[in-house]
Amino acid sequence: MKDYEDADEHVKEWLEDIVAEDEYGLKPESLYNNILHSSGDEKILAEIFAVPVGLIRVIKESQRRVVRLFFFKSEVGGVGV
């Protein structure tokens, strides 16, 4: 699983800009993890989290790449499952 610390710097900046306007002190790490672990339609998630659909896509796609890489490595014997 891709942690916030491993996220692309552009994504971190995007999240930091969004939470800077949050009146409840939401942390970028929390927003990232909430998006990452949520399932459903990207547009609905964007509405729920009040963020652009593009941000949802970037975070979800980064997770899909990690999962594909893990399974690829396990198929060729690089990672034990």
- DSSP sequence for 13-79: HHHHHHHHT-TT---HHHHHHHHHT--S-HHHHHHHHTS-HHHHHHHHHHHHHHHHHHHHHHHTTSS
pTM of the model: 0.76
Long-range CB contact pairs, 14-21, < 8 A, 24+: 14/55, 14/58, 15/55, 18/50, 18/51, 18/55
pLDDT in tens, the chain (81 residues): 478 998 889 999 999 999 999 999 999 999 999 999 999 999 999 999 999 999 999 999 887 765 555 555 555 565 554
